[in-house]
Amino acid sequence: MHDPITTNAGSPASDGQTRQPTIQVTPVGARPSALGAAELFTGTVVVDGMFGPNSHSPGSGALVTFTPGARTAWHAHPVGQILIVTAGQGWIQAWGEDRRALQPGDVAWIPPGVKHWHGASATHAMAHIAIQEVRDGSAAQWMEQVDDHQYAA
């Protein structure tokens, strides 16, 4: 990820004092797309990193786009996760619970340490913004793949 553009950061103010950073803008072209790793996802998944942790915030975020049938492996987040569904239809499931539908405008909050998966429905693509914090250098603990039986249940 490229460094964001910072407005007024570190420039001298009219009184000779150094200004504090105010606004950072990361141009959309500065965020390269990447295919989701096969050990973390089933199917075709595109991850567009949006922001990462910095000296002011441990948060990170990405726009994640799943083709029909694509999904994450089972995983958990040390500080939890927020998903904001932006397009399509998808599913989310916590270990031991029923699968739940996701649609544009839905916001899912996954508590810390909850084993879960999320992805597109079998017939529609889905995109969501995923926001999570990094703790001890990791935003997620990845586990086994969601098999076809678990996905279809």
List pLDDT tens digits, range 9-37: 444 555 667 777 788 888 887 888 999 99
pLDDT for 15 = 64
For residue 7, pLDDT beyond 80:
no
- Write down the CATH superfamily of domain 31-152: Jelly Rolls (2.60.120.10)
For residue 88, pLDDT beyond 70:
yes
The 126-133 sheet, strands edge to edge: 33-35, 45-51, 59-66, 126-133, 81-88, 107-110
Q: Map out the domains of the chain as residue ranges.
A: 1-27, 31-152
| pTM listed for this prediction | 0.83
Highest mean pLDDT among 3-17, 23-37, 99-113, 134-148: 99-113
